[in-house]
Structure 1
């Protein structure tokens, strides 16, 4: 059996950085496990013609939201042997789920594998914006020392209102980590938490429009789906409090690209941070790279060493079940045509 893994590039990673598992060279540390069972794994960081050529005779595809292979129906048509897709991470919007179901392809992801890592990234980027970290860092690199210039846009997080859009695993862990900052937390989600859960997390439910109008900081923690694409468009961005901040480690397409640039250039928003872009990897001329008042990173929030270990373990568990013709772990399954 052939398994194709489309992962980060990492030259000489197998020799020099064996702990960085999610590279095309290290293929999540799966080679010994698969070789013992007589199976081949091919790693590539190409998401174009080479990936298509390798996918043509692969039974299993391993992909990732951090370096995605966009798997649409056209690609599935050429992948005649494909039976299983594994997202090495959380978030599978780069896969056409309906097309996979029609073609009898099972789709899985390693649920909860990197939620701690992303929640910590959320808090870090909230603080980077509110405390105006990036200009202070840039002064340090440039050899400058203008405290007034940095401090005029630096604030305490304590006492601010933080709005969480989405309160799933990542949103909930973000809330728990923010409790210690003595902030007021509002949340909006399709499904309300119980009163006991709200008390534990320190959050209060609000309608989305109210959350947007009242929040000093908004953190997006919801999946990309039909109802959330461009959810923060020009109108909603303009409805945010003047001088507020927006953090998005969810999906880049939840925010309108050009409208965000305009909101930052006008000064309506005090800053934007996150690590998700559209498309990914972001091209060199993506406007978010050069817009003012940003604290963007590449899509790395869920790729800590600990998260990669959890992801690798989950992928191996899914593969083991598939190879032994056993039921896949139910909490990892997104599409299972056999059960529908």
Structure 2
């Protein structure tokens, strides 16, 4: 029997909810493009409930214990004395979320001789050292597409929030004021602006589709060019590289995975080539942007705004400069953890576990690393140092 170590974020400060704002979730027939929704044999949770926190347990306890497995759930993941490190030594499976990542470093792999599966409940496995996973023969999987639309919606919201200066305007109301001139002095329309996405996979393409009705000019760059029919339908302009694209854009949104080719991409040099007053949105991974370069660009006015929900490390320390830099719209890492998304990634997590324990193939689209090499979605989206 297996030991499953699950690292989830803390419960709400006022306790695990007993009621919810809505009674149900909308029905979805599938994902755009035809991929089917997660299909475990059953679920032991109520869709729309809080599953991603410690008490939610991703709805896994009844299933795992009925099969004779052990489930350990913790939010304590930092440092050598953490519960994560204490429990890791004899864990067969580690489950983590991108929103509260349990960083599986090379050193931690070395201390986990029984580990066979590193599973991301969500999308994005960069908190796992993929080279180390390959070296140790550990399978890495994630629930591809489960929260792509959730993140795309967050991107569109962030763009509108920044361009329309929503957060400072709302703060005026909270402060009891009516300072219209202060609110609109940084407020613009998105209509007619040029917006570009770095990567046009599931999230990037969904962003472009949602922005098309706003009558924006749409640009993208990706190492896999989209079909001509899609470019024509949306009126897309393709650019070979990020450096080629960003000087043309009023808004740039980052929707690429973190790997050696994208780490540190938005540095002082690249940001200097962007239009003065560009808005930069990053819901991908924090390390794609140079932390201090972003701060400098906002302070100088080179960037008009920066928004997103990804930080490094996560959770971000209280003194992280992105908390206090000007003209930002940062949130904790929430874009892909709506209650709607949680129902999908919890179901996908169980589907992957069922395949793993039964010795049957894990869906190709869920795979990142298998049999000592990049596989499935991992082979399409990631690169390694090896």
TM-score range, shorter chain: over 0.9
CA drift of 1:78 comes to 1.1
Q: Secondary structure at the match of 1:13?
A: coil
Give yes or no for the alignment of 1:71 onto 2:104: yes
In the alignment, structure 1 residue 255 sits paired with structure 2 residue 289: yes
1:37 aligns to what?
Answer: 67
The C-alpha deviation readout for 1:190-234, integer Å capped at 9, x for no partner, is 111111121234321024233211101111111111111110000
- In structure 1, C-alpha distance between the alignment counterparts of 2:250 and 2:314, rounded to whole Å: 29
* Range with greater deviation from structure 2 (188-197 or 119-128): 188-197
Equivalences, count? 340
Check if 1:285 corresponds to 2:286. Answer: no
Work out whether 1:20 is the aligned partner of 2:23: no
Report the CA distance shift for 1:214/1:182 in structure 2 as closer, same or farther (over 3 A). Answer: same
**Unpaired stretches in structure 2, ≥5 consecutive residues:** 21-45, 375-386
Q: Is this contact kept in 2: 1:176–1:202, CA < 8 A?
A: no
Question: Which of structures 1 and 2 has the larger relative contact order (alpha carbons within 8 angstroms, sep 6+)?
Answer: 2
- Displacement of 1:154 in angstroms is 0.5
Aligned-pair RMSD on alpha carbons? 1.5
Residue 308 (structure 2) pairs with residue 274 (structure 1): yes
Mapped to 2, the partners of 1:103 and 1:295 lie a distance apart of 40
Larger mean Cα displacement after TM superposition, 204-213 or 281-290:
204-213
Q: Distance in 2 between matches of 1:16 and 1:177?
A: 32
1:161-212 deviations in Å (ceiling 9; x for gaps): 0011110000000011001100001111111111112123432102423321
The equivalences for 1:22-171 within 5 A come to: 22-48=52-78, 49-171=82-204
- Measure how far apart 1:268 and its partner are: 1.6
Query: Contact between 1:102 and 1:337, CA under 8 Å: does it hold in 2?
Result: no
| Contact map agreement 1:131 1:153 (CA 8 A) in 2 | yes
Does 1:213 pair with 2:247?
Answer: yes
The residue number in structure 2 matching 1:8 is 9
Paired residues of 2:219 and 2:239 also in contact (CA < 8 A): yes
Is 1:325 the counterpart of 2:355? The answer is: no
1:231 aligned counterpart, secondary structure: coil
- CA distance in 1 between partners of 2:161 and 2:321 (Å): 20
Cα deviation digits, residues 3-54 of structure 1 (max 9, x gap): 0000111164276777110112221001111122111111100113210111
**Does the Cα contact within 8 Å between 1:4 and 1:43 map onto a contact in 2?**
yes
State the distance in 2 between where 1:212 and 1:122 align.
17
SS at match of 1:223: coil
Return structure 1 stretches of 4+ with deviation > 6 angstroms.
Answer: none
Conservation of the 8 A alpha-carbon contact between 2:135 and 2:372: no
Aligned-partner Cα distance in 2 for 1:152–1:16: 41
- Partner deviation per Cα, 1:35-76 (whole Å, 9 max, x = no partner): 221111111001132101111111111011110011012101
Equivalent-residue separation in structure 2 for 1:225 and 1:101 (angstroms): 15
Q: Deviation digits for residues 263-319 of structure 1, max 9, x if unmatched? A: 111112111111011111111100000000001111100001111011011100010
What secondary structure does 1:218 align onto?
strand
Cα distance in 1 between the residues matched to 2:247 and 2:265: 15
Q: What is the CA-CA distance between 1:243 and the residue it aligns to?
A: 1.2
User: TM-score normalised to the size of structure 1?
Assistant: 0.97
The runs of 5 or more residues in structure 1 that have no matched partner are: none
Is 1:302 matched up with 2:336?
yes
CA distance in 1, matches of 2:322, 2:7: 25
The answer to whether the aligner puts 1:334 opposite 2:368 as a matched pair is yes
